[in-house]
Amino acid sequence: MGNEDRNLRYKNIWIFIGLCMVVFIVESSLVSDPLSIDMGFEWQDKILHVVGYFGVMAWFIQIFHQKMERYILAAAFIIMGIGLEYLQDFGGVRNFEVNDMYADAFGVLLAWSLTKTSFPGLLMWFESKLAFN
C-alpha cells in the first residue's frame, strides 16, 4: 500500500469528505436532539465518541503524511472535542462530560497508533485501483 510520499490525485475530494465528517461531529455534538443509537449498555455514548474521533483522525492520517501535520491534526481534534463539550454546557440543553473528552482523545490517539502501519496508504492504494485513474 505504500508509497506515501506521492501526492493523492483526488486529495481535495478526500479533504472535503473529511471536513464533512468534522461537520457531522460538530452538528451531532451541538443539536438539542441528537441521533440516538441504543446499544443496550451504559457507556454506549462513549463508544460513539471514540468511534467518531477515531474515524475522523484515521481519515486524515491517510491524507496528511508528515509527522508535524499529524501532530497538528491530533491536537486540533482533541481541542475540538474539549471545545464542543464546553459549548454543550453553555447551550444548556446538552450535558458537559469530562469522560466524553477522554473518549474523544482516546479515539484520536487510537487512530494515531495506525500511523506506523500500512493503513495511511489506504487512500493511495484505493486511488491506484480506480478504473478511471
pLDDT in tens, 18-46: 999 999 999 998 887 766 666 666 668 89
Secondary structure of the chain as H, E, C letters: CCCCCCCCCCHHHHHHHHHHHHHHHHHHHHCCCCCCCCCCCCCHHHHHHHHHHHHHHHHHHCCCCCHHHHHHHHHHHHHHHHHHHHHHHHHCCCCCCHHHHHHHHHHHHHHHHHHHCCHHHHHHHHHHHCCCC
- pLDDT, residue 2, reads 47
Q: What is the pLDDT of residues 86-101, one digit of tens each?
A: 998 887 778 889 999 9
Looking at residue 130, the DSSP 8-state letter turns out to be -
Identify which has the larger pLDDT, 120 or 94.
Answer: 120
Share of the chain above pLDDT 90, in %: 68
